[in-house]
Chains A and B, each alone.
Chain A
Amino acid sequence: MEKHPITQGKAAPGGKTLKPRARIWLAGAAICLISSLAAAQVFEQREFKNPQHEQRYRHLISELRCLVCQNQNLADSNAPLAADLRTIVFDMIQNGKGDDEIREFMVDRYGEFVLYRPPFAAKNVALWAGPFVLLVIGLWLLLRQIHRRAAAPRPAPLSDAERETLQSMLGERPDKNDGARGA
């Protein structure tokens, strides 16, 4: 079997081998491809009654948190509890339960923490409204500052005597500094 220079890994004459930079790009592309495959991983094969059910299932497991690996949703987690909860979501959909009922089932047992999309309620109003309130305050401060600057009196232009002094200072600075150091 003829060995191709690339698989041989040695620099072959004729420039047929990959340059180091090309190898890095290839490796990067491979890593991206592998990680995107991993993200699209499906743990169980499910038979859905109709495509709407499948869509709802995918949506629900993507917005419910896995309690074991808390920064993953049910769709991405391979924890046994996540598998159990996916099965429960599937069963509830097959039994004609609505999305809200399924969310309620999870919240009743694990608290609102399971929802990646927490509902708007009195107790978390600061969380939802906070960014907008801060934005408005920031805009207000900014506008106030701009107005103040615009309203502030401009400094009077330099008088002839001041300009002369400035010129002489700028022009003669090195000498004066030397003189100061000498003294």
Chain B
Amino acid sequence: MHRYATPLGIFLLLAVLLGIGLTLNPREVPSPLIGKPVPAFRTPGLKDPGKQLSNETFRGRVTLLNVWATWCIPCRQEHPVLVGIANRGEAVLFGLNYKDDRKLAIDWLNGLGDPYAMSGFDPQGRAGIELGVYGVPETFIIDADGRIIYKQIGPMDEKTWKSTLLPRVKRLQEARR
């Protein structure tokens, strides 16, 4: 029995470590921005270029920032979820239209519904780089002090919203009361 203890122990250790490794998603890079203020950026509004969406926009209440584009196929899949969030008034939602065409983007919002309090327009993707965006759609939860609390990479379905993001948003909203 004793002579098998060491290889068995090593095997179990490896099995556990590899098992943990299998459950991780290597595409989800932990964002260094979590817990930090929204990085400084400034973009014109999508519908009204006279307005601005900047890191200052997020102060004063709990907000969501959704990075989207019309060329992004998962964004279309995610869009009804965002419309639902806005209709139920669960959170204030801002958009950042990323590396897109203004006309196409406005047509998209007119056709599919506009869940955003406002969308910024970032055709060059510079604001996206400041925010560390690499896989559109991305959704940030931002607290009332303008700090990034959570980042969802990839499309958010109803289930992910209800189970992962909404509880965090609610907790932040309650903490403010």
Contact = CB atoms under 8 A, between A and B. Distances in A.
Interface of A: 67-68, 70, 80-81, 84-85, 88, 107-113
21 contacts: A67-B134, A67-B135, A80-B99, A80-B125, A81-B125, A81-B129, A81-B134, A84-B125, A84-B129, A85-B129, A108-B32, A108-B39, A109-B32, A109-B33, A110-B31, A111-B30, A111-B31, A111-B32, A111-B132, A113-B29, A113-B30
Interface in B111-147: 124-125, 129-132, 134-135
Nearest to B130: A109
Interface of B: 26-27, 29-33, 39, 99, 124-125, 129-132, 134-135
Main secondary structure of the interface of B (DSSP, over half): loop
A70 B125 contact: no
Contacts, number: 40
B64 to A, nearest CB: 20
B91 to A, nearest CB: 24
A69 to B, nearest CB: 10
Contact of B132 (A80, A84, A88, A110): A110
B119 to A, nearest CB: 20
B135 A68 contact: yes
Main secondary structure of the interface of A (DSSP, over half): helix
A109 B30 contact: no
A112 B29 CA distance: 9
Contacts of B31: 110-111
Contacts of B26: 70
Given A68-B134, A108-B32, 5 more contacts: A81-B125, A81-B134, A110-B29, A110-B32, A110-B134
Nearest to A68: B134
Nearest to A67: B134
Among B26, B27, B32, B131, the most chain A Cβ lie within 10 Å of the Cβ of: B32
Contacts of B135: 67-68
Among A68, A84, A107, the most chain B Cβ lie within 10 Å of the Cβ of: A84
A109 B27 contact: no
A109 B99 contact: no
A156 to B, nearest CB: 25
B129 A111 contact: no
B55 to A, nearest CB: 14
A84 B130 CA distance: 12
Nearest to A105: B129
Nearest to A82: B134
